[in-house]
Amino acid sequence: MSLDPVLADLPLFPLHTVLFPDGMLPLKIFEARYLDMARGCLREKTPFGVCMLKSGGEVAHPDEPSVPETIGCLADIEQCDVDEFGMLLIRARGTRRFRLLSHRAEPDGLLVGMAEMLPADQPLEGPDHLAQFGACAEVLERIIATIQERDPDSLPFAEPFRLDDPAWVSNRLSEVLPIALRARQTLMEMTDAGSRIEAVHHYMQQHQLL
């Protein structure tokens, strides 16, 4: 039996994107169901769940239901504003990964799930993974420095930059490298930092980024 908590009524936001722990997610919200969801999260100080879309669209269609991937990431709203057209502009941060045990659609079309929290990444082990991590951290440091020099306002990562943390480094590289969406989902689902480090290291070797 799992010792990790289960959230019984987690509002879900299925998107054509993958959110990682500590990842930043800017959203422009205009659909009524998601406006209500965001207001509820802000009022109650609770997260919503981000899942990559397995099928269906981000915008509701009665004849095309949105089907989320089973593994997603919780998101906390950190900033909120309204633009001149009444669209809600939010910036959310990923926290913990979860596994959907079940989900249902509310009358307004909002998906709500029962979600089991997944544990944090297993620590890095073995000299090979440690060496790969060192190389990956150097690449990420260069990427951050380049973006800060060219356009610091466009930096997709939030401080503090934890370049000594294999989980943080592997998650950020998984976000910023031009990896196919399905592969990105696979990287997010990995349960240990070493496997993710190995995968992004292999990708960068193949594409001569190391």
Residue with tokens 């503090």: 160
CA distance 9 to 47: 11
Coil vs helix vs strand at 129: helix
pLDDT in tens, 14-33: 999 999 999 999 999 998 99
Mean pLDDT, residues 90-116 = 94
pLDDT at 61: 64
pLDDT in tens, 130-181: 999 999 999 999 999 999 999 988 889 988 999 999 999 999 999 999 999 9
Q: What is the 3-state secondary structure (H, E, C) of 138-165?
A: HHHHHHHHHHHHHCHHHCCCCCCCCCCC
Query: Does residue 84 surpass a pLDDT of 90?
Result: no
pLDDT in tens, 61-74: 666 777 899 999 99
Please name each of the domains of the chain with its CATH number: 6-117 (2.30.130.40), 127-206 (1.10.4060.10)
Query: Does residue 51 surpass a pLDDT of 50?
Result: yes
Q: Collect all residues with Cβ–Cβ distance below 8 Å to 20 and sequence separation of at least 6.
A: 73, 94, 171, 172, 174, 175, 188
| pTM of the predicted model as reported, rounded to 2 decimal places | 0.91
Amino acid identity of 106?
A: E
